[in-house]
């Protein structure tokens, strides 16, 4: 067995996300079982988006790179409304009544 396979085996045995997976997956400090659950949830979310069309709400933390999603949303809005993207910004309202 190679050293890389032994490390992988040890990480699986101790419920740690293998470094090889984490290097190409999403950032998470969760143990392996939770990491796999999150991975499955992300795949289901994206598959449903493809199958059913744009969702009415988004699982923001489920995105691999949420900054790109926010930028894309601004670009789509600017294009749809024919305004320069540098004139578009998010407006946040902080609420504590929920």
State residue 57's pLDDT score.
87
CA dist 41 and 49 (Å) reads 12
pTM for the whole structure: 0.69
Q: Would you give per-residue pLDDT tens digits along the chain (98 residues)? A: 799 999 989 999 999 999 888 888 888 888 999 999 999 999 999 999 999 998 988 888 888 888 888 999 999 999 999 999 999 999 988 888 86
pLDDT for position 80: 95
CA 1 → CA 5, 46, 77, 81, distances in Å?
6, 36, 53, 59
């Amino acid at each position: 067995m190679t050293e890389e396979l032994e490390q992988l085996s040890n990480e699986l045995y101790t419920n740690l996300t293998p470094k090889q997976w984490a290097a190409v997956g999403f950032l998470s400090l969760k143990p392996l079982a939770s990491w796999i659950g999150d991975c499955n949830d992300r795949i289901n979310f994206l598959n449903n988006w493809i199958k059913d069309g744009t969702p009415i709400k988004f699982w923001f933390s489920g995105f691999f790179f949420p900054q790109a999603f926010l930028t894309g949303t601004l670009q789509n809005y600017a294009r749809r409304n024919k305004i320069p993207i540098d004139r578009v910004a998010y407006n946040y309202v902080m609420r504590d009544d929920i």
